[in-house]
């Protein structure tokens, strides 16, 4: 009975320590993202067609967010949204594999003796300081110390296990059968959904002294398990690609081929790779250096595998295109950019929402072009097109608001992000209202056609001129939204005043035409309603510009000046 209780206690301690480790990794990634500032969301935008740049960016992003799986899921989402090409995605995925090895290097330093000191310092920085940047550094430091607390708990649980003959026999079978080790590494990573966690457990096991007085797992015994970790981590990308567009599936397949092919190749040269790792690692007794050797093996495997594949990125893209066949759809009647799988990365998710908003605004712009055509040329087909596009705009409004609301409920937003999210919600409604006014114009056009109401040449000229000025204003507001352009946003504000003045002038000119008998009195109400709708569209463009300006002005403020009270706990 006591033996069973002791085994249960050890297992609970082991899994408890593992839970603390995984939680601290996620918390540290969140703190690093916040400390890096809002500009981190722009990192992926520097990508070019050069795969080397993609590798560097993938490495950097993964080092910041502390998860190759999160980077890969993000990449799959970007490919699905057509924000990234397949070759670019392959480069970033390769870099993500390198970036994730940083965690193993940190763990290999074995700072367990300082775990509680680091955790205490992090807690003080987070809890007693109000400046956001210090709080974020505190969160990162706290989680860094907590990471080693989890490792200490796991290590204490493993010490008695290492002396168990049954456990030692199991480890001996796994470490002396490379194929079995590969399978175990893959399965454990599949379950934990984190190659870093599997590697941390492997490092801790290797540091324990077995019943024979030697390291529980040798370097050569640990390598197949390590290779299996790289295979197991590909399942995250595969799951993320389910239901995504075909190029996203190809990106996930590229990740799988890259890791599986690399693992098989290194298995064939296992003894030589083990000698290489031992050569570049510190020298000494195995029990003292095996942790550093495993960390170096993890980094070396991913760096060498990336170097080997780098010249063949284009070939890999062709291979996955051949394996995952099909054509990219051109469907416009659905969401293109919103991806719920990356809501945990708020900055990137907001950028995707902005791109969907820009697309929604461009559709409203098409509605306006067709509304103008309908009223000026008495074109019934153009009027029908306005109604067709309006259904898409309404759908996008619903989906964008739902996406932003989910983000608000699932994520802890910074003050800066809260302001931006509120602005995006207001912009969504403004764009939808622009579409409504375009629909009003189309309905007035149909009424004009049905009732055969005549408009004078002067009235048609005035309306055409008003639509042209409005067209410029809408274009400027869309461009300011998509590019974050301050000068264009300010230009929209000035143009709105011109449209207000133009509405008054057009009304006065129409009254004069009525007095002189140039215009039909029956068309007066319709003309007034038309110019009112034009003015209302301009008002919504103005609202969009104001939201963009507020966002950019908040973004220019330094996060270090924020003195809001500390209310959240890491």
For residues 400 and 467, membership in a common domain is answered with yes
Q: Is residue 307 located within the same domain as residue 359?
A: no
Residue 190 near residue 196, CB atoms below 8 Å = no
Does the pLDDT of residue 306 top 80, yes or no? yes
Domain count, the chain: 2
Both 387 and 306 in one domain: the answer is no
Domain boundary among 265, 290, 323: 323
Same domain for 423 and 276: no
Q: Say whether 215 sits in a helix, a strand or coil.
A: strand
Burial zone of 478 (CB within 10 Å; 0-12 exposed, 13-18 middle, 19+ buried): buried
CATH code for position 541: 1.20.58.220
Same domain, 308 and 392: no
* Per-residue pLDDT at 511 exceeds 90: no
Answer yes or no: is pLDDT of 217 > 80: yes
Residue whose C-alpha is closest to residue 44's, from 349, 302, 314: 349
The whole domain housing 386 covers 340-561
Tens digit of each residue's pLDDT (9 = 90 or more) over 115-144: 888 899 999 998 888 887 888 888 888 988
Q: Is residue 28 part of a domain?
A: yes
Tell me, yes or no, whether 569 lies in a domain.
no
Q: Is 216 helix (H, G, I), strand (E, B) or coil?
A: coil
Could you tell me what percentage of the chain is helix, strand and coil, using 3-state DSSP and rounding each to the nearest 5? 85, 0, 15
In a domain, 333, yes or no: no
What is the length of the chain? 570
pLDDT at 155: 73
Using a pLDDT cut of 70, give the percent of the chain over it: 87
Mean pLDDT of the chain: 82
Nearest Cα neighbor of 93 from 201, 264, 238 is 238
- pLDDT for the residue 60: 83
CB atoms within 10 A of CB 240: 26
- Dihedral angle, C-alpha 399, 401, 406, 407, nearest 10 °: 110
Q: Are residues 535 and 411 in the same domain?
A: yes
The residue ranking higher by pLDDT, 9 or 313, is: 313
Indicate if 228 and 369 belong to the same structural domain: no
Question: Could you tell me if 309 and 388 lie in one domain?
Answer: no
Query: Is 60 exceeded by the pLDDT of residue 420?
Result: yes
Residue 394, pLDDT > 50, answer yes
Same domain, 270 and 369: no
pLDDT class of 4 with cuts at 50, 70, 90: low
Kindly state whether residue 520 falls inside one of the protein's structural domains.
yes
Distance (Å) of CA 498 to CA 369, 376, 469, 494: 20, 22, 9, 7
Q: Are residues 99 and 225 in the same domain?
A: yes
Domain assignment of residue 308, yes or no: yes
Across-strand partners of 215? 209
**Least confident interval from 238-247, 490-499, 536-545, 553-562:** 553-562
For 218-267, what is each residue's pLDDT tens digit? Answer: 888 899 999 999 898 888 778 777 767 788 888 889 999 999 999 999 99
Residue 556 inside a domain? The answer is yes
- Residue 560 scores a pLDDT above 50: no
- Counting Cα atoms < 13 Å in the Cβ hemisphere of 32 gives 16
For 42-77, the pLDDT digits (tens) are: 665 555 557 788 888 888 888 877 677 777 777 877
CA pseudo-torsion sign 524, 526, 529, 531: negative
Residue 438 lies inside a defined structural domain of this protein: yes
110 vs 565, more confident: 110
Q: What is the pLDDT, as a whole number, of residue 273?
A: 94
Query: Are 314 and 213 members of one domain?
Result: yes
379, 449 contact by CB (below 8 A): no
In a domain, 371, yes or no: yes
Whether residues 16 and 44 share a domain: the answer is: yes
DSSP state of 564: P
Q: What is the pLDDT of residues 40-51, one digit of tens each?
A: 556 655 555 577
Which residues is 209 bridged to in the sheet? 215
- At residue 209, the 3 state secondary structure works out as strand
Q: Count Cα atoms within 13 angstroms, Cβ side, for 84.
A: 30
Digit-coded pLDDT (tens) for 432-490: 999 999 999 999 989 888 888 778 888 888 888 989 999 999 999 998 988 888 888 99
Model confidence band, residue 81 (pLDDT cutoffs 50, 70, 90): low
Question: What is the pLDDT at residue 296?
Answer: 92
With b for 16 or more beta-carbon neighbours within 10 A and e for fewer, the 537-566 pattern comes to bbebbbbbbbbbbbbeebeeeebeeeeeee
């Amino acid at each position: 009975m006591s033996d069973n209780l002791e085994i249960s206690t050890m297992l609970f301690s082991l899994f408890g320590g593992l839970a603390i480790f995984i939680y601290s990794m996620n918390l540290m990634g969140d703190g690093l993202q916040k400390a890096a500032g809002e500009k981190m969301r722009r990192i992926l935008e520097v990508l070019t067609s050069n795969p080397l740049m993609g590798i560097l960016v993938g490495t950097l992003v993964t080092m910041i967010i502390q998860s190759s799986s999160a980077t890969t899921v993000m990449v799959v989402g970007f490919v699905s949204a057509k924000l990234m090409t397949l070759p670019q995605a392959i480069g970033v995925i390769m870099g993500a594999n390198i970036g994730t090895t940083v965690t193993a290097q940190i763990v290999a330093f074995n700072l367990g003796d300082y775990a509680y000191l680091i955790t205490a310092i992090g807690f003080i920085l987070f809890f007693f300081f109000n400046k956001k940047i210090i709080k974020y550094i505190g969160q990162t430091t706290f989680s860094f110390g907590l990471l080693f607390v989890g490792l200490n708990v796991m290590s204490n649980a493993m010490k008695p296990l290492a002396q168990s003959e049954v456990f030692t026999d199991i480890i001996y079978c796994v470490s002396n059968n490379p194929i079995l080790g590969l399978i175990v590494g893959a399965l454990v990573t599949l379950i934990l959904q984190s190659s870093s966690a599997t590697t941390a457990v492997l490092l801790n096991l290797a540091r324990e002294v077995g019943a024979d007085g030697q390291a529980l797992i040798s370097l050569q015994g640990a390598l197949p398990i390590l290779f299996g970790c790289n295979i197991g981590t590909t399942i995250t990308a595969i799951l993320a690609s389910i239901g995504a567009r075909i190029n996203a599936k190809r990106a996930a397949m590229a990740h799988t081929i890259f890791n599986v092919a690399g693992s098989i190749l290194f298995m064939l040269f296992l003894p030589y790779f083990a000698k290489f790792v031992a050569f570049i690692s510190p020298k000494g007794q195995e029990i003292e250096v095996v942790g550093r050797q495993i960390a170096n093996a993890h980094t070396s495997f991913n760096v060498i595998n990336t170097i080997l594949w780098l010249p063949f990125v284009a070939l890999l893209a062709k291979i996955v295109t051949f394996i995952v066949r099909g054509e990219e759809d051109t469907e416009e009647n659905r969401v293109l950019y919103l991806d719920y799988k990356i809501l945990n990365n708020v900055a990137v998710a907001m950028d995707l929402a902005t791109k969907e908003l820009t697309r929604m605004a461009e559709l409203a712009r098409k509605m306006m072009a067709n509304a103008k055509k309908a009223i000026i040329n008495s074109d019934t087909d153009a009027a029908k097109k306005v109604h067709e596009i309006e259904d898409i705009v309404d759908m996008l409004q619903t989906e964008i608001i739902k996406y932003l609301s989910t983000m608000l409920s699932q994520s802890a937003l910074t003050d800066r992000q809260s302001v931006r999210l509120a602005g995006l919600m207001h912009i969504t409604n403004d764009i939808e209202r622009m579409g409504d006014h375009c629909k009003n114009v189309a309905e007035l056009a149909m009424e004009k056609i049905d009732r055969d109401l005549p408009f004078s040449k002067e009235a048609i000229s005035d309306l055409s001129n008003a639509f042209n000025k409005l067209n410029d204003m809408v274009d400027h507001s869309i461009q300011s939204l998509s590019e974050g352009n301050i000068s264009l946003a300010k230009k929209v504000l000035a143009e709105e005043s011109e449209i207000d003045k133009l509405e008054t002038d057009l009304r006065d000119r129409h009254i004069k035409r009525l007095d002189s008998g140039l215009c039909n009195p029956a068309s007066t109400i319709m003309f007034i309603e038309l110019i009112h709708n034009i003015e209302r569209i301009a008002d919504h463009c103005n609202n969009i510009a104001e939201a963009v300006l507020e966002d950019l002005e908040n973004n220019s403020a330094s996060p270090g000046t924020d003195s809001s009270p500390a209310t959240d706990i890491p």
